[in-house]
Amino acid sequence: MDIESAPLLTNKPTRSNKKKWGYCLGATTLITLATVGIVSALHSNQDDSLESPVDFRGHLVKGSRGAVAVEAEECSNIGVEILKNGGNAVDAAIASTLCIGVIDSFATGIGGGGFMLIRSPNGTFEFIDFRETAPEKASEDMFVKNPELAQVGALSIAVPGEIRGLELAHKRHGKLSWSELFEPAIQIARHGFKATELLALRVSTGAEWMQNLTEWSDVYYRDGKPIKQGDIVKRPHLADTLETISKLGADEFYEGDIAKQLVNTIQSAGGIVTLDDFKAYRPVIRRTISTWYNGRKITTCSEPTSGPVILSVLNLIERFQFKVQGLTGLNLHRFVEALKFGYAFRTELGDPDFTRNEPRIDEMIQKEYASDIRQKITDDTTHDPLYYNPKFDHIESHGTMHLSVVDENDGAVALTSTVNLMFGSRIMNAKTGIVLNDEMDDFSIPGVPNMFGLFPSEYNYAGPGKRPLSSITPTIIEKDSKFEMAIGGSGGSIIPTATLNAIVNVVDYGKDLYSAIAAPRIHHQLLPNIALVENGYSKHLQAELATKNHELFTLPQNYSISAVQAVRRMPDGSLEAASDPRKMGIAAAY
C-alpha cells in the first residue's frame, strides 16, 4: 500500500492542503508528512522489533577498483561495466543516469534536471548545476490564484537541464565517446526491462490519470491494467530519442526537432515554455563549499542546493564528541536540535544568481558561527520553531534519484537528478517518450504567512531564467587528502537529514556503509515541529527525546525516510558500495 492511499488519508497531498496538514497534530497529518520522503510501503509486516525500517534486504558490496551505487541494480551494473571498459567516474555516472531515467521515470529522466559534484583524481572539485530553469514568461505570482497548477500540467514545466549538464560534464571530464555512454540505456529502453516492485507501485498509484492517456498506458498498462512486478516494459520512443541525442548531440534536444516536439506538447497543453527558452538553457559551474568534521574534509555544493545545510549541521555537532560518547539520548537530542537550526538556515537559500546572498552563506558555514549557535542548544529541552530564527516559511521538495561513483584513480561523482513529483508534470511527449518535470512547484508562492507568522521565502520566488531551491545535497568526503566517500540521497526535503544520518553513522559510530545507510533514521525539518522516526529506531532513545519535549511520530514498517546511495574507499584500499534498501537498490563494484 502506498502511503498516499493509506486509509487515514481522505485526500492526497496537494500544495494548498499540505501546509494545513503540516501544522496539525493528528495521525492523518503525521502520516502525510512522510510523503516528502521516499516511500517503500510494499509489505504488511509491521513488527516493531525489526531493526530495519523496510522488509527488503540489500547488502554491502565490495571491490577494489571501482564502484557504483544507483537506485536500480541494472544501472549500478551498467556503471561498473563502463568503468571496466576504460571509462572514468564521470563516464559511469552519465551512463547510469541515463539508465535510471529509463527505468525510474517516476523520479528522474532527461525531461528533468539536477546537480553533479565531481572529484578529479588530482583532488580538485567541480560542481555542475543543471537544475531546470523557469521560462522567460514566468512570474512570481503566476500560481497565486491556483497553486495546484505548479504541480500538474503544462504550467508546472521548467526548462529541462539534464542533457546539457551531462554534455558539459562529458566535455570537461569524459574519456569514452558520448555515443558509447548512451548505448546501454538505448538497449534497455528498446528491448525492455523487468518492472521493479517500486515502479509497479508507482504506476498503480497513478492509475486514476494514467490509464486514460495513451502515451502513458501504451508503456505502463497491459490489457487495461497497470503493469505488475516482473512485466517487461519497453520504451521504444525514448530509445529513438536517446539514439538521436547520442548521434547528434545535446543541441538536438535544445535546438532541433526534439526541442520543437517538446515545446509543441507544452504549449498545446497551455504551458509557457518556448523554443527560445530551450535554446537559452545553459548549465552553470558553481563554487563548491567545504568544512572539516572529525578529521575529514566534507565538500558539497553551494546554492541552489541544500549543501550549506549539511555543512552547518556538521559544524554544530562536531564539538559534541559523538564518536567518544556514542549514540546516547542526549546526543540524539543535540543532533535533532542541530537539524532544526540547519533547516532554519535553509529558509534563506535560493538561486545565487538572484539572491546575491553569498556573504551570508559563507558566514553560516563557518566554525565561529556554529560556535555561537551551539550555545543556543539547550540539553534539557527542545523549543518552538521561532527559537531557531527562521527568516521565512519553507517550501517542500520531492522525488529525485541519487547515484555515487568512484573509479580506480579515486575520481568520484555524486549526482542527483529529478523530475520532481511522481512522474513530474504527468505530461509525456508521445513521439519522444520524454516525461517532463514539474519543477516550477519548487518555487515559493507569495501569499499569507503560516501560523508562526513566517511568509514564503522571497529568495525563492519564481522569475524568468531562475532556478528553484533544491533539497539535493551531493557530498564527497576526504580523509588525509584522499578520497573516502561519495554520498547523497533522494526524497525531497528529507535528503539533508538522510545524508547526515548516514555520514554520522560512518564517521562517528563506525558502521560499515550498508549498515550506516540501512539503519533507521530520524528527521526534523523545523516546520512542522515534529520529529519523524523510522520503525526500528531505539524505543529507549525515543523515550529520552520525549522527556526533552520533542513531539515524535514513528513511521510504520515499510514507510521510510529518503534513500541514500554511497561508495567508500577503505583504509586498506578496498571499496565498499551500498544502495539504500528503502528503494530496493543494489550497488555494484569490481
Q: Is the four-CA dihedral 106, 108, 110, 114 of positive or negative sign?
A: positive
Q: Do residues 565 and 404 touch, judged by C-beta distance below 8 A? A: yes
Q: Which of 265, 288, 355, 400 is catalytic?
A: 400
Residue type, 29: T
Is the bond preceding 528 in cis, omega lying within 30 degrees of 0?
A: yes
Q: Is position 471 annotated in a ligand binding site? A: yes
CA distance 221 to 219: 6
Describe the crossing of helices 329-346 and 307-318 by its angle, rounded to 10 degrees: 140
Maximum Cα–Cα distance across the chain:
63
Nearest CA to 339 out of 521, 554, 526 is that of 526
Q: Do residues 457 and 348 touch, judged by C-beta distance below 8 A? A: yes
Cell of 299: 565538500
Q: Is position 291 annotated in a ligand binding site? A: no
Q: Do residues 81 and 588 touch, judged by C-beta distance below 8 A? A: no
Residues whose CB is less than 8 angstroms from the CB of residue 47 and which lie 6 or more positions away in sequence, other chains included: 557
Q: Is position 521 annotated in a ligand binding site? A: no
CA distance 19 to 272: 27
Q: Is position 16 annotated in a ligand binding site? A: no
Q: Do residues 315 and 297 touch, judged by C-beta distance below 8 A? A: no
Nearest CA to 341 out of 288, 385, 297 is that of 385
CA distance 70 to 96: 7
Annotated active-site residue 14? The verdict is no
CA angle 397, 400, 403 (to 5 degrees): 140
Residue type, 176: L
Residue type, 234: K
Q: Is position 420 annotated in a ligand binding site? A: yes
Q: Is position 492 annotated in a ligand binding site? A: yes
| Residue located via cell numbers 549539511 | 310
CA distance 553 to 559: 12
Nearest CA to 156 out of 132, 123, 180 is that of 132
Cell of 199: 515502479
Residue type, 202: R
**Active-site residues: which are they?**
400
From the annotation, which residues make up the binding site?
131, 418-420, 442, 470-471, 492
From the annotation, which residues make up the binding site for L-glutamate?
131, 418-420, 442, 470-471, 492
